[in-house]
Amino acid sequence: MKIEQIYTGCLAQGAYYIESNGEAAIIDPLREVQPYLDRAEEDGATIKYVLETHFHADFVSGHLDLAKKTGATIVFGPNAKTGFDAHIATDGEVLKLGNLTIKVLHTPGHTMESTCYLLLDENG
């Protein structure tokens, strides 16, 4: 399992790269997606999910480009309404990523679709 924060100081924005057993997920990707593609290639991994914690008004997300280039599923939390293909997860829904489990936790407040992702290893 690998977890890496990819932090962009000029925007004070942190994206995350998670990899397990050849599958990867990117949380809140920046517009420039090449660093995520490079990391996945280095690990011999396939990007399976692009997870968004909420709709971002403060930067342009790379979710659409990343999904187009990799075939990954874009995931938003409950209440999200998109004009593009995305999986709208339910509260408590479980996503599998290699040997990991990602549990969707609906946390409205910042925005109504705000979501946290609880990462569980094979031991729970």
Residue 10: its pLDDT value, please?
53
Q: HEC string of the chain? A: CEEEEEEECCCCEEEEEEEECCEEEEECCECCCHHHHHHHHHHCCEEEEEECCCCCCCCCECHHHHHHHHCCEEEECCCCCCCCCCEECCCCCEEEECCEEEEEEECCCCCCCCEEEEEECCCC
pLDDT value at position 32? 84
Bridge partners (DSSP) listed for residue 74: 50
- Give the model's pLDDT for residue 62: 80
pLDDT in tens, 44-66: 999 999 999 866 655 567 888 99
- pLDDT for position 82: 86
Mean pLDDT of the residues in the chain: 88
User: In this predicted structure, what is the pLDDT of residue 105?
Assistant: 96
- Confidence band (pLDDT; 50, 70, 90) for 7? low
| Confidence tier at 13 by pLDDT (50, 70, 90) | low
Q: Tell whether the model's pLDDT for residue 88 goes beyond 70.
A: yes
2-120: which CATH topology?
Metallo-beta-lactamase; Chain A (3.60.15)
pLDDT digits (tens, 9 = 90+) for 108-124: 887 777 899 999 998 88
Mean pLDDT, rounded, for 32-49: 95
**Amino acid 112: pLDDT:** 76
